Structure 1
């Protein structure tokens, strides 16, 4: 009876979350954040182009090899135009870099501001007037904090995976079971990294920040859902085939759809925080254990999917 009541309570909470998500125009916010996310990638591409220009300007041998590759891979007329573009990029690398940094700063602020507005709206927080300069500085601080959180979490996960591989090579354990343990551990660490980043973002992105403890359980579910979307995205890219045209168009559509689904999922989890049909959470240790169980189940499911699909 107790298990049935708990299941019914969770089902009611899911229904209430979906209803509240629609009432707060969640899909509209998800579409807007997706647009601003893709728009913010343009200056980052410009920065990469500028860096490539500096690299080519400092290595004439590499520039010559690139000209040979372009000339051999493309028809003469198109190759000449592409070479002119490359030479222009090399010559204007400084201006392109400065322009890209300025545009990146503005687009980054615009992106984080819209993300914070969307998260605040999903939490039911009223939008209040704020001084422009103070608001911009607050948004930029949150953007820097989110970037540092992602860098530290994913860096630790990558470092731990590399350390595990090094230990296996050092001890000579190259069997199937040792590899299985390494893959399972890396998946769990990756989920834990996503969990920490999402928990921090759910707590700090709203205009009125939330206690970090209140986001631990939702962040665990969000991390598992994000991993599932990543697996689906990888499977989608695998099914595109080897046709360059299909791959190019399909990849563009896939990236757009992936970003939208990720944003939609995270906004839905944000709404879930405001639905209080479950009994109050216990101690901090209980919240962490609950999230750990969720992450463990997600890692096990992801391991099964990778084993069945051979990826």
Structure 2
């Protein structure tokens, strides 16, 4: 036990490196999926991809932390503490107003975040005007998910099992739902009328001229036998007529 406690620094560094590498893999797969939805097939270097993935991962992480912090600020208990700290009396109207403001600000930041994700995370940037509506859809869905997740975590973290495994499971569910939400919004943006109208038209493939060769076979064995039989029947009939 003492040796494990003494090596906590090394374990922490290894854990951070492993988490960073897993995060880079998640971001790389997400960017590749978004690029495929926009029908992009750009080829870049491995080092350049990893550096851009790291920058995108850090930017998205900071923006999501801000949105989650604003959502946590809308909690009634925390809101009362903030109001008492700044010297304001806790009122229903003031508390509800601040809660609505925090939700509106959180949706606005999420809107900017998802618009940036949909238009800039693909390997080749996409114009912002083609991802604004999809970003708003993803922001509203993300805010609903955060509200439901906050209620769920409050009820789960009270028990010992929830306190132990709740954060890990919550992080996994958060990554899964967020990725699916981004993919759904990107698919909607990529298949909109505006995007399809601006999509490049690929040139047709090379024309192939195929010469049609038709081979006519001879009479064959069956035809020859039939002709011989008909000839024999005709000769027999003709001989009978001559005898008469």
Q: TM-score, normalised by structure 1?
A: 0.50
- Structure (1 or 2) with the larger CA radius of gyration: 2
| Aligned pairs (5 A) from 1:140-219 | 140-150=54-64, 172-219=88-135
Aligned residue in 2 for 1:38? none
Deviation at 1:212, TM superposition (A): 2.7
- Give the counterpart of 2:19 among 85, 91, 104: 104
For the Cα contact (< 8 Å) 1:203–1:211, is it kept in 2? yes
Tell me the distance in 2 between the aligned counterparts of 1:244 and 1:167.
32
- Is residue 2:44 matched to residue 1:130? yes
Per-residue deviation, 1:256: 4.4
Task: Find 2:4's aligned residue among 89, 96, 99.
Answer: 89
SS at structure 1 position matched to 2:131: helix
Q: CA deviation at 1:92?
A: 0.8
Secondary structure at 1:210's aligned position in 2? coil
CA deviation after TM superposition for structure 1 residue 178, in Å: 1.3
**Which runs of 5 or more structure 2 residues have no equivalent in the other structure?**
197-244
Aligned with 1:223 (options 139, 153, 157): 139
Question: How much does 1:250 deviate?
Answer: 7.8
Cα pair 2:138 2:182 within 8 Å, conserved:
yes
Which has the higher mean CA deviation after the structures are superposed, 229-238 or 203-212? 229-238
- Does the CA-based 8 Å contact 2:79-2:95 persist in structure 1? no
Higher relative contact order structure (alpha carbons within 8 Å, sequence separation ≥ 6): 1
- Cα deviation 1:71-126 (Å, max 9, x = unaligned): xxxxxxxxxxxxx2xx3332112322332343234223222111111221232323
Q: Are the aligned partners of 1:157 and 1:190 in contact in 2 as well (CA < 8 Å)?
A: yes
Task: Answer yes or no: is the 8 Å Cα contact 1:218–1:272 preserved in 2.
Answer: yes
How does the TM-score come out when normalised to structure 2?
Answer: 0.62
Aligned to 1:262: 178
Which whole-Å CA distance do the structure 2 matches of 1:141 and 1:279 have between them? 27
Distance 1:225 1:137, change over 3 A: same
Runs of 5+ unmatched residues, structure 1: 1-83, 281-311
Q: Secondary structure of 1:124's partner?
A: coil
Offset of 1:168 from its aligned partner? 7.7
Distance of aligned partners of 1:226 and 1:122 in 2 relative to their CA distance in 1, 3 Å threshold:
same
Map 1:243-282 onto structure 2 (within 5 A): 244-245=160-161, 256-277=172-193
Matches within 5 A, 1:43-122: 84=1, 87-122=2-37
Matches within 5 A, 1:294-305: none
